[in-house]
Amino acid sequence: MEALASILESLASKAAEYMVDSTPEQLGYLFNHESKFQNLWSKVQELKDARQRVQQSVDEANRNGEKIFDDVERWLTMVNDKISDQATTQLQEDEKKAMESYFASFLLGIKSRYHLSKKDEKEVEVITQLLNGKDQFDRVSYCPALEGMSIRPVKEYEAFGSRSDAFNGVMAALDDDNINIIGVYGMGGVGKTTLVKEAARQIIAKEKKLFDEVILVAITQASNISNIQNEITEKLGLKIEERSVDVRAALLHDRLKKINKVLIILDDIWEEHDLDAPGIPSVDKNKGLKILMTSRRLEVLKSMGSQKSLPIDILKEDEAWNLFKIVAGPIAERSDLQSKANKVAQNCAGLPIVIATVAKALKHKENLHEWEDALEQLKPSEINFRGVPSAVYSAIEMSYKYLKTEDLKSIFLLCSIMGHNAAIEDLLKYCTGLGLFHGLDTIQKVRNRVLTLVSELEVSSLLLAGSTPECFDMHDVVCDVAISIASRDRGWLALGKEDVFEGWSDVETMRNYNLISLQHTKVSELPDELECPNLTFFAMVNRDSCLKIPNNFFKGMKRLKVLSLKKVNLSSLPSSIESLRSLCALRLIDCGVKDIVMLGELVNLEILDLCNSGIRLLSKEIGQMGG
């Protein structure tokens, strides 16, 4: 009995060590263990839910090509460690052991519960800090500045001797602290864009960088201040939600001033631009800023303050032949074809874009008569469309005729009205609306066909790669020829920013059009009703905020399949839209449209694009569309 009493006294003494002089908080470790564990387990579940929400946002950002903030990445790493299967399993095993020891040995159980309760409380503190950290994330990602990656590799660039003076001059001027504005000029298709892109590529590739940022902006005839702002902000990775041009200019101006050294390339300028309007800082006040411009006209460069303007001339005969051989491949030097191939090369006006296009059209032509026929087709035509030289026109038209399928020809002509750096998805919408591909019963099948055809046209050099893989481009000269062909052969009316159209009153001519495209065209007013019974496609990008569409305007377009309007004031839709029962694709971009109930009458509509319309909820009537 004395021995048993001694053992009990010893156990009581040891237990007292955990209780004597203990605070209520410390006693809580012994007596509130179960509630502390439940609290910890609840926090773990809360952390798992928070992690799921953040991870979903991160996955969406990754799909959109955005960059995840470093603190978000670190947070996810720490959270994953805390809630991993191994960590939660260990937590459950510790609790199980504590309970087992509690029943197996009173003393060991007290000690284990005490230490485990303290550990649980510390874990709760850590998890609470992680949950608070998650609340600090306004957003998990950002659009990275594209830097040099925005300038895609220049295919088929050749350092010809006739180009070396201009190229070396550009590189020297970019390295000269006394020169801030540089210009490159020459006729369309001579290679201005290719030269400045190659200069930019070499600058970016240098170990010692001349510039922190290199931004390429295609100006073109159709560009306005808003378009220029959009291109610069996109390539800087900026998101400016403000729609006021002046406010956007101020924000962009401040951002550009913060960059120590920046090169802005303004490609294909047709007329004098006020660089301050879109938000480009003055080079006089920002010595780290340089501007490199290209234009067809020297006077345009001078009017914009070019301090050094460098000309690019057409290729010399030997250079033209060398480029032709590179693009056409071995067939150009086959003994029975070489002389004809050389003559073909010399009939390409010394323009790289024409040489590349013709060489690719002929590289698989094995027979002598095909090359002789090509020479015949390359004879200068009498057509003079928008100042395109007749020899150039003939060469590009020949390349068009050599396209293998009608689908390729149709897509090529359709691309010519879509402007620079056009989205392949927009081309998809037009092709679907027009029903160009019979037998393709899903959007994905149509998308695959469009991507294939665009790729083939890029290989032929009739299309160019866009700034991203989701876009395509077309050289101005090729575009002009394509529009001329479509106007002549397919009944198209396609006008641009430099054009003025007042031909609505020519009733007979208007009745014969199959497609009308007015891209920033100056239009004084629209007729009350347009009688175009054969029209299947109507597109207009408005340049006059006061222009209104009369209620009956679309009444005479019963066969219309595609309608695309951009920046047209449509607070209320013209009532005649509901009569377009053949309409398959409708795009109302940035039109301020509010009420779209009448669109429910368009039972054949398959594609509806309301980008920047402000509409967030579609009415139940839209459910009638598509049958």
Domain stops at, among 311, 335, 351? 311
- The answer as to whether 410 is a domain residue is no
Distance CA 417, CA 480 (A): 10
SS (H, E, C) 5-64: HHHHHHHHHHHHHCCCCCCHHHHHHHHCHHHHHHHHHHHHHHHHHHHHHHHHHHHHHHHC
Tokens representing residue 295 in the block: 């234009």
Last residue of some domain: 402, 435, 455? Answer: 402
**Host domain of residue 57:** 24-89+116-144
Summarised one tens digit per residue, pLDDT across range 482-506 is 999 999 999 999 988 777 887 888 8
Alpha helices in 304-337 (DSSP H): 317-328
Q: Is the pLDDT of residue 28 over 80?
A: no
In this structure, the answer to whether residues 321 and 333 fall within a common structural domain is yes
Burial class of residue 429 in the structure, from the number of CB atoms within 10 Å of its CB (0-12 exposed, 13-18 middle, 19+ buried): buried
Judge contact between 304 and 270, C-beta under 8 A. Answer: no
CATH number assigned to the domain comprising residue 549:
3.80.10.10
**Is residue 440 scored above 80 in pLDDT?**
yes
Does residue 462 sit within a domain? no
The whole-number average pLDDT for the span 566-591 is 88
Both 195 and 232 in one domain: the answer is yes
Please report whether residue 590 resides in a domain. yes
pLDDT of residue 400: 95
Over the stretch 289-336, which tens digit does the pLDDT of each residue have?
Answer: 999 999 989 999 999 999 999 999 999 999 999 999 999 999 999 999
Which DSSP symbol is given to 463? S
**Looking at residue 236, what is its pLDDT?**
79
Same domain as 374, residue 280? no
Which of 402, 434, 457 corresponds to the end of one domain? Answer: 402
**Same structural domain, 307 and 228:** yes
Q: Same domain, yes or no, for 511 and 604?
A: yes
Spatial distance between the Cα atoms of 99 and 104, rounded to a whole number of angstroms: 9
Neighbours of 289 (CB within 10 A): 23
94 within some domain: no
18 assigned to some structural domain: no
271 pLDDT above the threshold of 90: no
Task: Note the pLDDT tens digit of each residue in 518-532.
Answer: 988 888 788 999 999
Q: What is the pLDDT of residues 56-105, one digit of tens each?
A: 888 877 766 677 888 888 888 887 877 765 555 655 555 555 554 444 44
Strand partners, 182: 292, 308
Q: Please indicate, yes or no, whether residues 241 and 171 belong to a single structural domain of this protein.
A: yes
> Are 138 and 228 members of one domain?
no
Burial 349-379 (b: 16+ CB within 10 A, else e): bbbbbbbbbbbbbbeebeeeeebeebeebbe
- Asked whether residue 503 falls in the same domain as residue 614, the answer is yes
Considering the domain architecture, whether residues 129 and 212 belong to the same structural domain is answered as: no
> Is the separation of the CB atoms in 584 and 433 below 8 Å?
yes
Instruction: Classify residue 50: in a domain, yes or no.
Output: yes
Check whether residue 598 and residue 620 sit in a common domain: yes
Residue carrying the six token digits 């980008």: 611
Is 453 a domain residue? no
How does strand 471-473 pair with strand 464-465?
antiparallel
Contact 169, 308 (CB under 8 A): yes
> DSSP secondary-structure letter at 505?
G
Assign 384 a pLDDT band (cuts: 50, 70, 90): low
pTM for this predicted structure: 0.69
Question: Listing from the earlier edge strand, what are the strands of the sheet with 562-566?
Answer: 492-495, 515-519, 537-541, 562-566, 585-589, 607-609
Domain count for the chain: 4
- CB-based contacts of 486, cutoff 8 Å, min separation 6: 413, 416, 492, 494, 515
- 218 and 274 together in one domain: yes
Q: Are residues 138 and 239 in the same domain?
A: no
Look at residue 328 and tell me if it is in a domain: yes
Q: Which of 22, 44, 43, 27 is nearest to 113 (CA)?
A: 27
> Can you tell me the mean pLDDT for 362-386?
86
